[in-house]
Amino acid sequence: MITTKQIKLIKSLQQKKFRNQHGLFVVEGIKMVRELLESNFKVNSVYTTDVSVVDYYDGPIELVTADELRKMSGLSNPNTILGVFEIAKVEKPDVTDWILAVDTLRDPGNLGTIIRLCDWFGIKYVVCSSTTVDCYNPKTLQATMGSIARVKVGYTDLTAYLKKTELPIYGAFMNGESIRDAKLPKKGILVMGNEANGISTEVQHLISSKISIPQYGEQTAESLNVASATAILLNEIRR
């Protein structure tokens, strides 16, 4: 039987501080838990109100009551199953393909959508500045729709990382070369900036090519949402 102490620990993983302290994160819902159980993430524990939803898995599962699930969940309507997994150590990105880097991204939904896009476009690594929102934030995880199981996301001093790389560094700007004219190499790093301020001055100095997405017709909208811009740029990279 699950103890009050365990429930309290799991509930605390909604906060970054406790996720880092324990090296654990939580995913919820039948689909998300399945994606994670079938991934390389190491499972810590699984709790469900209905073991039949997890019949594909032969590791230990703890049956809990709806009330216990509600107490450990971050959702207002918890969905049958909750899994606790170990935060992965990300090995060095391999440099044979494109890598996405994000500089001080703040919105968990945007980061999650971007991870989902990387999964779609076969980008295997996302390098985040240490100032970027946590990829194990429940809202980020939700927005990845399970793609967190396949895309490796690491945090580092982005400036130091970019200083060391030999890959060409592309950055998304409002006033760069049109992505439609740019001759994109087979591999490189694409840097996306903060929602309000774009790429930080420090990182700007390290960009080898500024690219942008041409607006159509009159100059009206001031900018695109960073996830929308990432969608368009990754699609162009993979053309």
Report CA 57 to chain centroid distance, whole Å: 25
**Residue that the structure tokens 């605390």 belong to:** 12
- Identify the residue among 18, 57, 121, 155 touching its own copies (CB under 8 A): 121
Q: Which residue lies nearer to its own copies by CB, 138 or 162?
A: 138
Q: Which residue lies nearer to its own copies by CB, 83 or 112?
A: 112
- Yes or no: say if 47 and 82 are a contact pair by the CB < 8 Å rule: yes
Provide, rounded to whole angstroms, the least separation between the CB of residue 123 and its own copies. Answer: 8
- Identify the residue among 90, 95, 145, 167 touching its own copies (CB under 8 A): 145
Report CA 128 to chain centroid distance, whole Å: 9
The DSSP secondary-structure symbol of 91 reads P
Helix axes 108-120, 226-237, angle to 10 degrees: 10
* CA 185 – CA 76 distance, rounded (Å): 46
Report CA 125 to chain centroid distance, whole Å: 10
The DSSP secondary-structure symbol of 55 reads T
| Contact set for its own copies, span 177-236 (CB under 8 A) | 180, 213-218, 220-225, 227-232, 235-236
Residue 32 in contact with its own copies, rule: CB under 8 A: no
The number of residues that bind its own copies (CB under 8 A) is 36
Residue 94 in contact with its own copies, rule: CB under 8 A: no
Residue 91, by phi and psi: left (phi above 0), alpha (psi -120 to 50) or beta? Answer: beta
Q: Which residue lies nearer to its own copies by CB, 6 or 176?
A: 176
Provide, rounded to whole angstroms, the least separation between the CB of residue 1 and its own copies. Answer: 36
Q: Identify the bridge partners of residue 209 per DSSP, sorted by sequence position.
A: 170
Provide, rounded to whole angstroms, the least separation between the CB of residue 119 and its own copies. Answer: 4
Residue type at 105 in one-letter notation: L
Provide, rounded to whole angstroms, the least separation between the CB of residue 142 and its own copies. Answer: 12
Residue 163 in contact with its own copies, rule: CB under 8 A: no
- Identify the residue among 11, 150, 187, 210 touching its own copies (CB under 8 A): 150
HSE-CB at 114 with a 13 A cutoff on CA atoms is 34
* CA 147 – CA 83 distance, rounded (Å): 16
Q: Which residue lies nearer to its own copies by CB, 73 or 142?
A: 142
- Identify the residue among 54, 117, 128, 184 touching its own copies (CB under 8 A): 117
Point out which residues bind its own copies (CB under 8 A): 109, 113, 116-117, 119-122, 143, 145-147, 150, 180, 213-218, 220-225, 227-232, 235-236, 238-239
